[in-house]
Amino acid sequence: MERGIWLWRLRKNPLRRRSYAVEAWAFLAAALAALVVAVLVGVSTAHGLQREYAQQRLDRHSTSAVLTQKAPDGYRLSRVDVPAQWKAPDGTVLTGIVTASPGTSRGAVVPVWTNSQGVEVAQPLSPSSGEFQADVIGAGAAFAICVGVLIGCGITTKLLDHRRCARWDAEWTEADSRWGHHSV
């Protein structure tokens, strides 16, 4: 909406309906509340994810897995799944599927990431990647809140305009009947 229309809704004018001023002040309050909530949600989301990524870096450990079979040749693939064995932190031997380069021989050592029970997990994000990802997701959460409030304000404006048009129709019909049906 143009700036002049919003200013018109706030200034004194004999043609301005009370609903325009109420709508303008309510939307101003909603926008300010949305900004505050968006900042709080964005910051708390980013900090929460950064803590989670830091905990993952503490809980996950790199270990060596020995391939139990030769990796299949796949000239179009950069990585293939191959059975392998590795030791858990308590010393038990675990087996599972790991990714390796095509054509890797049996008995080759491949790095894998495990949790404290020795179960294979994804490699944790580096501190800089984790911080970047957390910041982007936090900003996305803040943006989503602002967009939601903006959409809500737009829908509310459409509903209020529809209601105002219905009132104007009723008022014009009443005025038309008082004037003797001479309106164009």
In a domain? residue 148: no
Considering the domain architecture, whether residues 67 and 105 belong to the same structural domain is answered as yes
65 shares a domain with 53: no
Whether residue 95 is found in the same domain as residue 136 = no
Q: Are residues 46 and 82 in the same domain?
A: no
Rounded to 5 degrees, what are φ and ψ at 62? -85, 135
What is the model's pLDDT at position 182?
59
Counts for the chain of helices (H) and strands (E), in that order: 3, 5
Q: 130 and 43, same structural domain?
A: yes
Cα–Cα separations (whole angstroms), residue 25 to 28, 44, 162: 5, 29, 19
pLDDT single digits (tens) 58-100: 999 889 999 998 888 876 778 888 999 998 888 889 998 998 8
Query: Do 137 and 50 sit in the same domain of this protein?
Result: yes
Residue 169 domain-assigned (yes or no): no
Tell me the pLDDT tens digit for each residue of 137-163: 999 999 999 999 999 999 988 998 898
pLDDT at 4: 55
Domain count within the chain: 2
48 and 79 within one domain:
no
Assess whether 5 and 18 both reside in one domain. yes
Residue 184 scores a pLDDT above 80: no
d(CA 145, CA 169): 36
User: Are residues 51 and 139 both part of a single domain?
Assistant: yes
CA–CA separation, 83 and 71 (whole Å): 9
The answer to whether residue 8 scores a pLDDT higher than 70 is: no
- Tens digit of pLDDT for each residue in 17-69? 777 778 888 888 999 999 999 999 999 999 999 999 999 999 998 899 999 98
The more confident residue out of 16 and 93 is 93
- Tell me the residue range of the domain where 53 lies: 1-60+125-143
Task: Report the predicted TM-score, pTM, of the whole model to 2 decimal places.
Answer: 0.70
Do 10 and 29 lie in one domain? The reply is yes
In a shared domain, residues 42 and 67: no
Same-domain check for residues 97 and 42 = no
